[in-house]
Amino acid sequence: MINKRFSRLQLYKIVFIILFIMIISFIVLNINIINKNINNSSSNNINSNTNNNNINFNIKYIKRNQKININNISKNNLFKPLDTENIINRDCQYVDLVYTWVNGSDPDLLQLKSEILGDSNFEPHRFRDIGGLKYSLRSVKKYAPWIKNIYIITANQIPSWFNIENPGNIKSHLPTFNSNSIESNFWNLPEEVSNCFLYLNDDVFFRQPVRQEDFFDKDFNQVIYQVGERVRSSLEYDKYDAYFKIFINTNRLLDSLWNETKERVLPDHGVQVFNRKILIKMAEEFRNPLLETSSNRKRESNDIPISFVYNQFVKRYSNYSVGRPRSNLYIGLWNENDNYTRIDRSIELINNEKNAITVCVNDGFDFIDDTIDQKLSTLYESMFPEIGAHEL
């Protein structure tokens, strides 16, 4: 008799091979957030708004299922599942927040990732949960209470600290281990998600109070955040690492799309600011590269960095402003001879940094023991001690 666990894993594997499934469960958390009055005025750009609104926080689940048969996929069918007319015709009235989260400690998920990615490409720390989501949510309540709804894209999992009786049950999963693939489908979020939303990885948290105006002005023209690093199509591709190569490749695609040769600035890794009208515009004009990225279950050299491309579309089709530099503090927890010293230095840097809007704690340690885990927990608790209503 075939072992049940083996059968389940084999079934998952077959489903992954036959179908590229994007099943997104969106959770609106019970954090008692009340949105302030937002005065909108008309504008001539893609983000034009005309309505006034005062909106209270709602508690509900939103699901959207999208299935694409990868054997029959064409260049035209990726962007069919959502009727975009309502999105195009409506204006921003408030700002939502979207997260992606996965419990990388799930044994079945670890096994599946190993099979899909292969041992040489499998890096457990990329999927490990070190408590970032819990404290990021607390930071939203503390520093960004004007956000109306919070949505979490999850992998059919519930955090151990989450109060499942508060919002309901989670019954869906994300069969991809490539964040670029997930983000390439943001144009297709359910209609319930606001046209204007912020996106955070679960390793990013707010470090100081933020206003809606830090991301969208009163007319919902957006702010873009960039780093000083630039990319040109003329750069010698083979001289750069895999991370930077995707920017060179993407810059060349943009030059070809718009028949120009242009140096472009890389995006910051903190809060990513999105307008769904522009995402849909990307889906229309940049269809083929996005289709390829959406189909990649793991990171590939032909991936499109969504935030980078998005910023270029904003600059081309929308009114915008550029946020102040160094708004995000990036902490890379990379292996050293003494990881305890590394974590202590990182914690000291976080505590001493007073100007950053957000902090990203990127887990790159091969192994986190109880000592390091406790140090991180102590840091987070010192910054965000108030337990949320969505926590047990």
Fold (topology level) of 20-225+268-326 = Spore Coat Polysaccharide Biosynthesis Protein SpsA; Chain A (3.90.550)
Can you tell me whether residue 134 is helix, strand or coil?
helix
pLDDT of 140 reads 94
The alpha carbon dihedral of 186, 215, 376, 388 has a sign of negative
pLDDT of 334 reads 58
pLDDT of 35 reads 31
pLDDT of 320 reads 95
Strand-by-strand arrangement of the 204-206 sheet: 204-206, 358-364, 328-334
pLDDT of 248 reads 94
Across the chain, which has 392 residues, the per-10-residue mean pLDDT values are: 45 34 39 31 47 32 31 33 81 92 65 58 51 90 94 76 60 50 81 93 92 95 92 91 90 96 92 94 90 69 86 95 84 69 89 89 72 89 90 82
Residue 101 Rama label (left phi>0; alpha psi -120 to 50; beta): beta
E strands within 214-307?
222-224, 226-231, 264-267, 272-275
How many angstroms separate the Cα of 92 from the Cα of each of 63, 151, 153, 228, 273?
21, 17, 21, 30, 13
pLDDT of 170 reads 38
Q: Specify the pTM.
A: 0.75
